[in-house]
Amino acid sequence: MDEAEFPKELIEDVPEEKEKPEKLFESVYTRIMNMGVHEKIKLATLGNKEARNILIKDANRLVVQAVMNSPKLTGDEVISYAGNRNLAKEVPMIIASRKEFMKSYAVQLALVNNSKTPVPTAINLVSHLRENDLRSLLKNKNISSMVSMAARRTLSSRGKG
Quick: pLDDT tens for 53-97: 999 999 999 999 999 999 999 999 999 999 999 999 999 999 999
CA distance 51 to 69: 14
The pLDDT assigned to 3 comes to 57
80 and 114 both lie in a single domain: yes
160 and 128 both lie in a single domain: yes
pLDDT by residue (tens digit) across 137-160? Answer: 999 999 999 999 999 999 999 886
The count of structural domains within the chain is 2
Among 128, 150, 120, 124, which Cα is nearest to 137's?
150
Q: Which domain holds residue 153?
A: 74-161
138 and 105 both lie in a single domain: yes
CA distance 126 to 143: 12
The pLDDT assigned to 15 comes to 62
54 and 95 both lie in a single domain: no
Boundary residue ending a domain (33, 51, 71): 71
89 and 125 both lie in a single domain: yes
pTM: 0.83
21 and 63 both lie in a single domain: yes
The torsion angles phi and psi of 131, rounded to 5 degrees, stand at -60, -45
146 and 129 both lie in a single domain: yes
161 and 97 both lie in a single domain: yes
Among 71, 66, 72, which Cα is nearest to 91's?
66
59 and 118 both lie in a single domain: no
Boundary residue ending a domain (47, 71, 95): 71
How many C-beta atoms lie closer than 10 Å to residue 129's C-beta? 21
50 and 83 both lie in a single domain: no
Q: Where are the alpha helices (DSSP H) in 84-144?
A: 90-97, 99-102, 105-113, 119-126, 131-139
Largest distance between two CA atoms of the chain = 59
The pLDDT assigned to 55 comes to 96
Of 15-29, 94-108, 116-130, give the lowest mean pLDDT range.
Answer: 15-29
39 and 97 both lie in a single domain: no
